[in-house]
Structure 1
Amino acid sequence: MRAARRLVAVTVFALVALAPWTGAAPAARPSLETLLTRHVPVLVLHPAEQIRPAPVDGFLADSDLERRTATGWEAIAGSLSAAGRATRLDQRLCLAVEGVAATSCYVEAERAHRGGPVVYGAAFRAKSRIDLQYWIWYPWNVYSPTVPPGDLWQVHEGDWEAVSVILDLDGRPLHVGTSRHSEGARREWGRVTKRGSRPVVYVALGSHASFFGSGAHRFDPRFVDPALISVIKA
């Protein structure tokens, strides 16, 4: 009987000792908010960049809601969310038709709002992945294959760029995706330059396309307007 008691005692002790390893509930997974904060990208801007990431609120305050008509664009009342198709926001203080020369106007308009750099974030949990999305707003976009812009350039108001970090359900990073005009790029987490747990993204001068390294990058002509290609070839 005593031997049996000892055996029972030893068996119970062994089960208790092993419980944290074999039978305990898994550690709590980090919240989506925690993951969003942990992996906010580090944006490296060109030294000559004048348009920096900003809160979108300033641009919204300076803009009129317009609807396309048979004769052009006309201002309308109401909210952007309820405006429907064939509508746009037009920044009333500056004129995009002035091209590259309008850059200083957009810089001053944004400076008047005294807003610091902002990155907007959203997180989604799917069946087997977590998608962390970081959205960056630039009020003005200037693309040119030369620095400074020469005879060939493209401009437009309002420029949303994005960086995504894809994780498994335990919060381990797998890939990073970056946006570029009409295309994008993806790279495995282990091959991405990082500062701690934050991916480093290099922002192209003027166009704000996102790259995994600095330096000059070729654009893919498949994603360029054919009319622009004809000008380049000419």
Structure 2
Amino acid sequence: MRALLAGLLLAGLPMAPATSASVPATLTPYVYLAPDEQNKPVDAEQFVQHSALKWSHSAPCPSDHQLAGQGAVSAAGLGGGSYQHQKKGGWPGCKDSGTYYRSNDRVRPHEIGARDGMYLDLDNGRRGVGSTSAPVYYEYEAKNFITYWMFYPYNNGPLVQNHEGDWERVAIRLDANDKPVTVAYFGHGGSCVKPWASAPKSGGHPIVFSARGTHASYPREGDFPTALGFSDHTGKGAVWQTATAYDARTRPWFRFGGAWGEVGESTHTTGPGGPGAKNPAPDWAAPACA
């Protein structure tokens, strides 16, 4: 025990919090933010609280419709499909017509047709609000995998990679005894995997390096080329211990199918879909991490 405590102190990491023996609590990641990270993680409920819910229309009908104002958006309504809207019928007239899309359908703009779709529009003044006390969210399937989702209010990447909202993740493959076997890190060049035995850890918690601005997940410090024409950069800044972990599937917003963030000119500059709109299990046959 003394050797373990000494190792933690030398590494500059906080000691693991007192938790139950449950898998979600014992495997929460320790996330190193980049030294100059300006957009720290945030509670997803706070993002909803400080956002308006809107429906985006494609040109030549550019006027967006507000479905609920800031402070009035119901997280349960988002996930439960209480909000709905129609596409425009097109020029001339731009009348609402056709199928009603609900908030728990796949309604992210640029996915159901050009800019059409539903999105959370964050108060711009809240983009830089975040801290290492934010919770992490998980999806757990016993004897199979656990995926930890990390949420940031703003992705401040290079080139065309700026957008509100940023859901990132790391996943752990579990064996028949619920013991960790493999870790998958989700970077912008695709995911990569490391055996649990060689993955960086602190007190049994996997260590993750979050790229500056983009928050993509990597297993070490350094520069990582991406398929989008830029490199991600990681380093040892503040440590986000993710001491608070919530089951994502029990959160009221989980089934929201729209964008977590305003609409851009392309899918890359539009807020991402949330955990409920994505497959939580990674490709375990992904390449080994460099």
Band of TM-score, shorter chain: 0.5 to 0.7
Q: Say which structure is richer in helix.
A: 1
Q: Unaligned stretches of 5+ in structure 2?
A: 1-19, 82-102, 108-116, 231-267, 269-290
Partners of 2:23 and 2:229 in 1: CA distance: 35
Q: CA deviation at 1:180?
A: 2.6
Match of 1:89 among 120, 128, 135: 120
The 1:167/1:54 distance shift into structure 2, 3 A limit, reads same
Deviation >3 Å, runs of 4+: none
SS in 2 for 1:60: helix
Superposed CA RMSD in Å reads: 2.7
Which fold has the larger relative contact order, with Cα–Cα distance below 8 Å and residues 6 or more apart in sequence? 2
| Cα distance, 1:139–1:178 mapped onto 2, change above 3 Å | same
Verify: 1:139 aligned to 2:156, yes or no: no
- Alignment-mate amino acid for residue 40 of structure 1: T
Q: Percent identity?
A: 27
TM-score calculated relative to the size of structure 1:
0.65
Does the CA contact (< 8 Å) of 2:189 and 2:227 recur in 1?
no
Quick one: structure 1 residues 42 and 186, their matched pair in 2 at CA, closer, same or farther if it must change by over 3 Å? Answer: same
Q: CA deviation at 1:133?
A: 1.3
Aligned with 1:216: secondary structure?
strand
Aligned to 1:106: 127
Contact conserved, 1:201 with 1:210, CA < 8 A, in 2?
A: yes
Q: C-alpha separation between the residues in 2 aligned to 1:219 and 1:119? A: 25
Task: Name 1:45's counterpart in structure 2.
Answer: 33
For residues 144 and 126 of structure 2, what CA distance do their matches in structure 1 show? 40
1:74 to partner: Cα distance = 1.8
Q: Is the 8 A contact 1:55 1:115 kept in 2?
A: no
8 Å contact 2:188–2:228 — kept in the other structure?
Answer: no
The aligned length equals 170
Decide which structure has the larger Cα Rg and report it.
1
1:122 maps onto 2:139 in alignment: yes
Alignment partners' CA distance in 2, 1:163 and 1:76 = 33
Q: Cα offset for 1:184?
A: 1.7
> Equivalent of 1:54, from 37, 42, 62?
42
1:217 to 203, 224, 236: 224
Q: State the alpha-carbon separation in 1 of the partners of residues 21 and 147 from structure 2.
A: 12
The residue identity in structure 2 corresponding to 1:52 is K
